[in-house]
C-alpha cells in the first residue's frame, strides 16, 4: 500500500485485510507522523505508559499530548512501515520515518493493548528509535 496525503508519503508493506489490529497500528502511525494529537490520543488508554528506550518514559494521555506538541516543528515527509506483527494483546512494528529536514530514524515498537477485542486501546508502548540514513531500495 502506498498512499499520499497532506504531503505525507506512506509506504506500508503489510496487508491489513483481515487483521484489524494491524490496520489499527498502521492508522496510529499515520496519525503520529502527521502529529494529529487528537487522533493519536484516541488510540491510547488514559493511563498509557510510553517508554522511549534510553530517553524517557511518558505517562498518561496529557503527557503524550505535550510530547507530541513538541514534535509539530519536525514534520514527517515519508513514513515506511516494514512489519506489523500481532498476537492477542501484544504487537510489534518496525519502520522508518524521514523528516522534512532530511533526518531519518528507524523505529521498532512493542505494544500491549488493554484487551483482545478490536476496540481496545494501547496501554503500553516501548519504542526503540535510532537516527540513521535513508534506505537505498
Q: Flag whether 10 is in a domain.
A: yes
Other C-beta atoms within 10 Å of 4: how many?
9
Top-confidence residue, 137 or 48: 48
> Residue 46 maps to which CATH number?
3.10.450.50
Query: Is-contact 123 111, C-beta < 8 A?
Result: no
pLDDT tens per residue, range 19-52:
889 999 999 999 999 999 999 999 999 999 999 9
Query: What's phi and psi for 65, nearest 5 deg?
Result: -60, -45
pTM of the complete model: 0.88
Q: Flag whether 137 is in a domain.
A: no
- Domain residues for the domain of 127 are 2-132
**Is 60 exceeded by the pLDDT of residue 128?**
yes
Other C-beta atoms within 10 Å of 117: how many?
9
Q: Is 129 helix (H, G, I), strand (E, B) or coil?
A: strand
Q: Flag whether 79 is in a domain.
A: yes
Q: Flag whether 116 is in a domain.
A: yes
pLDDT of residue 8: 92
Q: Which three cell numbers stand for residue 60?
A: 498518561
Q: How many domains does the chain have?
A: 1
Query: What's phi and psi for 9, nearest 5 deg?
Result: -90, 130
Amino acid at each position: 500500500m502506498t498512499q499520499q496525503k497532506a504531503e505525507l508519503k506512506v509506504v506500508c508493506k503489510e496487508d491489513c485485510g483481515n487483521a484489524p489490529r494491524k490496520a489499527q497500528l498502521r492508522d496510529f502511525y499515520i496519525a503520529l507522523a502527521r502529529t494529529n494529537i487528537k487522533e493519536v490520543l484516541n488510540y491510547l488508554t488514559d493511563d498509557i505508559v510510553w517508554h522511549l528506550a534510553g530517553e524517557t518514559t511518558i505517562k498518561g494521555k496529557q503527557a503524550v499530548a505535550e510530547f507530541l506538541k513538541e514534535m509539530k516543528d519536525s514534520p514527517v515527509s515519508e513514513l515506511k512501515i516494514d512489519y506489523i506483527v500481532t498476537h492477542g494483546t501484544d504487537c510489534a512494528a518496525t519502520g522508518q520515518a524521514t523528516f522534512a529536514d532530511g533526518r531519518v530514524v528507524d523505529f521498532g515498537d512493542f505494544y500491549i493493548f488493554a484487551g483482545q477485542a478490536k476496540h481496545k486501546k494501547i496501554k503500553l508502548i516501548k519504542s526503540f528509535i535510532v537516527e540513521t540514513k535513508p534506505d537505498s531500495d
